[in-house]
Structure 1
Amino acid sequence: MPGVSARGLSHDERKQLAVKLTRVLTLYRSILDAYIIEFFTDNLWATLPRSWQEALDGLEPPQLATLLLGMPRDGEVARYRSVWPLTLLALKSTAYALAFTRTPGFQTPSEFLENPSQSSRLTAPFRKHVRPKKQHEIRRLGELVKKLSDLTGCTQVVDVGSGQGHLSRFMSLGLGLTVKSIEGDQRLVERAQRLDQELLQALEKEERRKPQVRAAGAPASGSGPPVATGLGCPASPPGPGEPRGCLLQPGPAAGSTGGDTDSSGPAALPSGAGLPC
């Protein structure tokens, strides 16, 4: 599938593409909001138009991939066993026209040049259990939130749908923000709690191995415990727009991360309040 590359588009062309994408996403919102787990519980098949059901019923997954995605295997030709309704063909053509290219139009980010599986911008405690794509995402998004926090003076952050808490953990213990995480899946809450404790233990061990780091820290406001610097900072100098400080000395609330519940179900993970970098 060739797809669209936004890099070659002008500003106006990008705006037009955004309008088209929004229009299509709105039109097919009911399909996009459907999850595999709900296919049987909510009888999602019955929500499709009758003509679509007749065209798609009985097709094996490889056949669906060939006909809907245009991905025939070597030597295979796409053959329709019946005439498809125009609405289904229109959706297929629209998806082809508006899909973004799967061919990377950029070089590998510098943080993964040394090791494609480990970001050089995150130290080991924040990389553990996190896939490379997620490492990149939490670093970039966390630093964006930190920048907005610095500009607006707002240090209270709420992470809704925090999952296992990777982003919340980085914003709190890595960037010094006060973070409240909310997650409705109790299994993810419990997993996040375990990862919270694992990270705190790893940081404590790191501080014990490097006592000079703590000794060199200075209190943020002239009182209180010194801030441990260096444990979570990038090994290489920060790039343009990247923060030059880091925080790995959790505040008093850090020890109670995760586990909050209220009348509405598992609320989750109030990550520790950190001292600003």
Structure 2
Amino acid sequence: MSRPPTFTPPPGARAHLLRTSRGEFAVIEAGTAVKGSVLLVPGFTGSKEDFIALHEPLAQAGYRTVAVDGRGQYESPGARDDEAPYAQAELAKDLLAQAAAVSDGGPLHLVGHSLGGQISRAAVLQDASPFASLTLMASGPAQISAGQQQRVQLLRDALAVMDMEQVWEAIQAMEPPEETETGTLDEGLDDRADLRRRWLATSPAQLIATGRQLCAEPDRVTELAAVDVPKHVLSGERDDTWPIPVIDDMAVRLRARRTVIRDAEHSPNTDQPKATAAALTGFWDEMTG
């Protein structure tokens, strides 16, 4: 589960509902599109808050940022019992509708983290015309690793027989206690409350459907390589969801720019946001420079 540094938008950012042709989606928006805009798409069990630490450095570099909760994620409404709206093709259509609503006529860069990367890929394969570039962040070419497939299957099995509150309690019972430097558990209580609130608001049908996608995603790299849009593959230096050599190979096959963020794992956006923002803006600035 991704752990944003905070759930509070940074100064100058605003949380609001983005109205699109496919309904309303909760977003956090910041900055002015001096050089362009950025649509940020979160991963499995994630939300728009996963990108909170990127808003300020990207805004300072001249980019307007819009981080979105996908359908059924956290504060975006979605069916809780029906999996049909969460088919990958449907989520890709949602993303294209979000892009249309965000677009101001200038360059629009697409960044997808993990599952969000695979949804972003599906959207670009449907219609690449809205996007000036695509960045796949900690997102691999096909299904997730065998170990992560087992974890996702456990979650899907649990959601079949328990409600979201019961699953949350089971997850907490399996996790080791987190201690601070002082040996107390006082720090992080607000963090756990925010994570719990996000978990309970997320649609179980969305988790079941997208979890199935992660475990069965086909390799579509050849298709994506044929699409004429600049590509960037960014990851931490360690990743247990897709092995780094697999991500490296995908970047070669895509003829994409490759960035590895030091001292980061599956969420470089939260592990090392300044370095991640610098890598993103370096890619975009070089395209227009």
- TM bucket (normalised to shorter chain) is under 0.3
* Higher Cα radius of gyration: 1
TM-score of the pair, normalised by structure 2 = 0.27
State TM-score, norm by structure 1.
Answer: 0.28
Question: Highest relative contact order (Cα 8 Å, sep 6+), 1 or 2?
Answer: 2
Higher strand content, 1 or 2: 2
